[in-house]
Amino acid sequence: MAKPSQVTWGGRFSAGPAELMLRFSESVSFDARLAQFDIVGSKAHSAMLAKVGLISKAERDAIHKGLDAILAEIEAGTFVWNTQLEDVHMNIEHALTQRVPAAARLHTARSRNDQVATDMRLWFKEAAADLAARVRTAQRALLALAERDGEVLIPGYTHLQRAQPVFLAHHLLAWMEMLDRDAGRFDDVIAQANWCPLGSGAIAGTTLPIDREFTAKALGFVDARGRPQVTQNSMDTVADRDVFISFAAACATTGVHFSRMAADLILWSSVEFKYADLPDAFCTGSSLMPQKKNPDSCELLRGKSARLQGNLHTLLTLTKGLPLTYNRDLQEDKPPVFDSYDQTAICLDVLEGTLAGMKVNRTRCAEAVSDPALLATDLADYLVMRGVPFREAHHAVGAVVKLAEGEAVKLDQLSTEDVQTVHSKFGPDWIKVFDLKRAMAMRRGTGMPGPKQVKRQLARWRKKLNP
């Protein structure tokens, strides 16, 4: 039989929840990690209550002292969490009430609905800043790699078929751009989270004379000029989970990028490619085949991206069709974002470690890029410079490729007479097209893989990341 319980809302109930219900509805097993934010939130709230005269300064000080002691116990691991008290908020409030009589006034003009929204916004600001910083660290490892093997050329691929030559650095700097957008998305999350919910109450604010701006300022919900930012609609505030979705989306997109970088690295480390050797520290062997060295860090980076997408999907499904405002469903919003944070953080560290220890096989890269067919497009451009329309030039070079295939020779092994039979605009200098160094130097425009451009980009990143 259910007994009256110690929960804060027990007044209108004659019996407490069933043991099964308590086990079913508790969230402290996962939201205890919000404790530090819950405590700073309560300190700011009680400071505001004292400022407007709803509690005395002595009561505020007693509450602060009690909360500091609880935080110290939580950090020391000696605080006893009780699932019967549902969540992090009620655990802390209950512990405080047992120590400090003034704690009975702490929840004045506040609901767990605006409280949890506040805790989470504080958490998002910290989590997103942390992930943005880890992205920067991974970018620095990438930059070091691009600089170390800056002059190595590899074939660039489309459709996983050799396409055109690029500096390896150009390929690595493509990843750099991807990661940079990821960091930008985490910065956006910080800006989105930066509005204080406190004062929205359960749904409709409060009749008590509170000062929302004071609390917002105390918690750092301020704009660039230090002006407080408070949310503008109490109903939206307690119902809104957009920042959860934005954060999970930023993690999921970063995960997509992990998976694409990982796919390249897995190919590059295969015997078939052999462009790169991944660090032993981030690979594993086979329990059966003694010769194996498997690129597990990359495979897991790719695999975990599925999990990050799943978390985003959970949040979208959780909030879809939910009537305003707060519904208990929303308690399920935390496990996916916590998991997205944990997994994205460790993925970024592993990516950094994998890149830092990766060795480029220069011989293999040079072999692969020496294929003159990679410069077939340059040969078409050569005809264009001699006045031939591009479509006609493309067709003519296609016929040259076919001719070489027929004679089982490389493109640059055909004679000038051979190619002139295909198109009369081929001059004796056509063969110069296959000078790889010259070909790369001709790619001069912004964003292109020419040596000057790559150097410029490397300098740009060096400045931006200042390693």
Residues belonging to the active site: 159, 286
- 112 lies in the site for ligand ARG, by CB under 6 A: yes
- 116 lies in the site for ligand ARG, by CB under 6 A: yes
- 339 lies in the site for ligand ARG, by CB under 6 A: no
Q: Which of residues 240-269 bind ligand ARG (CB under 6 A)?
A: none
- Comparing CB distances to ligand ARG, the nearer of 318 and 360 is 318
Tell me how far, at minimum, the Cβ of 87 lies from ligand ARG, in Å.
4
- 113 lies in the site for ligand ARG, by CB under 6 A: yes
Tokens of 65: 């002292």
- 123 lies in the site for ligand ARG, by CB under 6 A: no
Q: Which of residues 418-457 bind ligand ARG (CB under 6 A)?
A: none
Give the integer Cα–Cα distance in Å for 47 and 57.
Answer: 8
- 64 lies in the site for ligand ARG, by CB under 6 A: no
CB 385 within 8 A of CB 432: no
Q: Which of residues 318-337 bind ligand ARG (CB under 6 A)?
A: 326, 328, 330-331
Tell me how far, at minimum, the Cβ of 319 lies from ligand ARG, in Å.
13
Give the integer Cα–Cα distance in Å for 430 and 441.
Answer: 17
* Count of residues of this chain found to bind ligand ARG when the rule CB under 6 A is applied: 9
Tell me how far, at minimum, the Cβ of 20 lies from ligand ARG, in Å.
18
Choices 110-118, 143-151, 177-185, 187-195 (CB under 6 A): range interacting with ligand ARG:
110-118
User: 194, 303, 192, 196: which is closest to 250 by C-alpha?
Assistant: 192
- 42 lies in the site for ligand ARG, by CB under 6 A: no
Considering only residues 17, 22, 27, 197, which one is a binding residue for ligand ARG as defined by CB under 6 A? Answer: 27
- Comparing CB distances to ligand ARG, the nearer of 116 and 146 is 116
Q: Which residues contact 425 (CB under 8 A, 6 or more apart)?
A: 383, 386, 387, 388
- 87 lies in the site for ligand ARG, by CB under 6 A: yes
Interacting residue ranges for ligand ARG, rule: CB under 6 A:
27, 87, 112-113, 116, 326, 328, 330-331
